[in-house]
Amino acid sequence: MALNPDTLAHFVSIGPAGVKREIALGKHGQAPDSPLWREAELWIESELIRLNAEADAKRDAREERTLAITESALAIAKESAASAQRAASAAEAQCASAERQAKWAWWAAIIAMIAAISATSAQINDLITWLQK
């Protein structure tokens, strides 16, 4: 026995839980083992299968979106890491250049100090010579 369209519309409107409740309460004057209620139980099973399939499809779609977002985030993170590596390499090169410049600055300072000592020494010698006259 197939469900008539009105009964089917009623079942759809109240859903599986409502149909179970009506079966438990013995609504519509039908006995729980009547053909109508057997059809109702079959409808409940098929409806639950359909609802589970819909829920599974929604879950799968969410998982696909989450996976796509995760893959996009991973690509961004990889690019950021590569960019950071390039920046670190540039910083290392600048640091090496700064170290070389600091080394040459020290040599320049030593040479300037030697020149200052030499100039001062010459002036001291000139002063001593002038004082001895």
pLDDT tens across 49-83, in order? 999 999 999 999 999 999 999 999 999 999 999 99
37: pLDDT strictly greater than 90: no
pLDDT digits (tens, 9 = 90+) for 74-110: 999 999 999 999 999 999 999 999 999 999 999 999 9
What's the pLDDT at 32? Answer: 64
Range of the domain at 71: 5-94
Q: Residue 108 domain-assigned?
A: no
Report the chain's terminal Cα–Cα distance, integer Å.
Answer: 143
Cα distances (Å, whole numbers) of residue 5 to 10, 34, 74: 8, 18, 52
For 19, counting Cβ atoms within 10 Å of its Cβ (0-12 exposed, 13-18 middle, 19+ buried), the class is: buried
Q: What is the mean pLDDT of residues 27-46?
A: 76
Q: Residue 122 domain-assigned?
A: no
Domains contained in the chain, number: 1
Tokens 């100090």: give the residue.
113
Q: Is 46 left (phi over 0), alpha (psi -120 to 50) or beta?
A: alpha
Q: How far apart, in whole angstroms, are the C-alpha atoms of residue 43 and residue 40?
A: 5
pTM above 0.95, yes or no: no
**Dihedral over Cα of 117, 119, 122, 128: its sign:** negative
113: pLDDT strictly greater than 90: yes
Q: Residue 124 domain-assigned?
A: no
What's the pLDDT at 21? Answer: 84
Compare 61 and 118 and report the one with higher pLDDT. Answer: 61
